[in-house]
Amino acid sequence: MAERYNFGAGAGGVNVETTVLGADEIILNMGPQHPSTHGVLRVKLRLDGEKVVGSECVIGYLHRGVEKIAEHRSYQQFAPYVDRMDYVAAVSNGLGYCETVEKLLGAEAPPRARVIRTILTELQRIASHLFWLGTHALDIGALTPLFYCLREREEILKIFEKYCGARLTTHAFRIGGLQYEAYDELEKDTERFCKDFDRRVDEYESLLTENRIWVGRTKGIGVLTADAAIAMGVTGPVLRASGVQWDIRKSMPYAAYDQYEFSIPTGKNGDTYDRYLVRLEEMRQSRKICLQAIENIPAGPILGKVGKVLKPPPGEVYHSIEAPKGELGYYIVSDGTTQPYRVRIRPPSLINLEALDQMIRGHLVADVVAVIGTLDIVLGEVDR
């Protein structure tokens, strides 16, 4: 009788007992097996008709204990595991981890490695955003953009494959730099992709941006004000669409981002439509960064001097990067052995997902799907 569901924990939620629901309210379990919860997210919705009056996310269906695994692996051994968190943007995960361990070691990747890292990470950002755009449009009912997006994403995956042999979970970088030298035509491939890509983004825009139905489905949906976004620690495009100009690539530059010109697109209203526009513009900016980076890739070694056995001095370090989905942070505590004492990962998807309840209240079931899509969550990262 007294099973309590905490609807909307945190964001001014209230406790409601399921047993005393009014006749006009139903509890709808969305997921974990549902076509548009992007994996195994389960959302308990309290509905008044089709209107959402409360919600609760149930997560953990994909929990693999990544953080705990880290405590039993050496620093190098753990690197491939982070690829499996946000598997849509594995390269970014790897960059974050490698840079954090480098910071812990006091080492630094050589300039050539940093530039190549930047190129691959930006390509990964484009790939991740493309996948988001396709699935988001699919959730809202536009079937076709998905296939165009996957077509372009395929080009990027081919570049990854040529570079390191893997397409999805790439394990592209190594602590201290790169494992592999760039293949001969990396610049050429990147340039060819970038040349074509601007036109392709325009194509997506022509399909959606001014489409009456698309605008109707996204404008004013899932509004997140700047204050609320900051209060909840939301980062990435979701935060920027609310009008906050915060991008770690600019504010705390890492890799080689300080060398390149690019702007941070922001939105005004913080609704689903703005988030869509912001991500589209981010793809264009990423393309710009790639084009600048391939202009001048410095020569030199690709792996800094970090030694074969990594034994960082005791201490702790936090380092975060701007992953496609937001701030991806690693907090590593070292006890001076070859294995980390504790690794804590701040996944952007999890933090962004916390805003879901606030964003969907008062909307209809159909909007829940749109909002889950616009948050761009990957459950592998939420549950780790």
Partner 1 sequence: MPYVLPVLFALVIVALLPLVAGYIVLVERKVMADMQVRLGPMRVGPHGLLQPIADAVKLLLKEDIIPESADRLVFWGAPLISVTTAMVALAALPIGPFFQIAELNIGLLFILGVSSLGIFGIVLGGWASNSHYSLLGALRSAAQLVSYETSAGMAIVGALLLAGTLSTRGIVQAQAQTEVWFIFAAPVGFFIYLVASIAETNRAPFDMPEAESELVAGYMTEYSGFRWALYFLAEYTNMIVVASIATTLFLGGWLRPFASTSYLDFLDWLPPLLMAGVAGYCFWRAPKQPVAVQKMFMAAVGLLCIVLALVLIMPMAAPRDSFLASSKAGIHGAFWFLFKVGAYIYVFMWLRFTFPRYRFDQLMRLGWQFLVPLSIVNVMGIGVGLALHRQLNWPAAPALILGIVLTLVAGAYLLATGEKHEHPRVGEEEEEETPVNA
Interface map 187-226 toward partner 1 (x if CB under 8 A): --------------------xx--x-xx-xx-xxx-x---
Nearest one of 265, 103, 271, 123 to 175, comparing CA atoms: 103
Would you say 30 or 105 has its CB closer to partner 1? 30
In the chain the beta strands, taken as DSSP E runs, fall at 4-7, 14-17, 25-30, 42-48, 51-58, 173-174, 177-178, 315-323, 326-334, 340-346
Provide, rounded to whole angstroms, the least separation between the CB of residue 196 and partner 1. Answer: 14
Would you say 70 or 138 has its CB closer to partner 1? 138
- Can you say whether the dihedral through the CA atoms of 123, 210, 325, 154 is positive or negative? negative
Q: How far apart are CA 112 and CA 26, in angstroms?
A: 58
Kindly state whether residue 143 participates in binding partner 1, applying the rule CB under 8 A: yes
DSSP symbols for 36-86: TSTTT-EEEEEEETTEEEEEEEE--TT---HHHHHTTS-HHHHHHHHHTTS
Residue 219 is which amino acid? K
Kindly state whether residue 11 participates in binding partner 1, applying the rule CB under 8 A: no
Q: Which stretch binds partner 1 (CB under 8 A): 93-101, 138-146, 244-252, 343-351?
A: 138-146
Residues 345-384 touching partner 1, rule: CB under 8 A, are 361-369
Kindly state whether residue 58 participates in binding partner 1, applying the rule CB under 8 A: no
Kindly state whether residue 119 participates in binding partner 1, applying the rule CB under 8 A: no
Would you say 53 or 333 has its CB closer to partner 1? 53
Q: Which two tokens stand for residue 298?
A: 């410095």
Nearest one of 265, 245, 289 to 114, comparing CA atoms: 289
Provide, rounded to whole angstroms, the least separation between the CB of residue 325 and partner 1. Answer: 20
- Beta-bridge mates of residue 303: 177
Kindly state whether residue 102 participates in binding partner 1, applying the rule CB under 8 A: no
Site of interaction with partner 1 (CB under 8 A): 14-17, 20, 26, 28-29, 34-36, 48, 50-51, 53-54, 137-144, 146-148, 151, 207-208, 211, 213-214, 216-217, 219-221, 223, 361-369
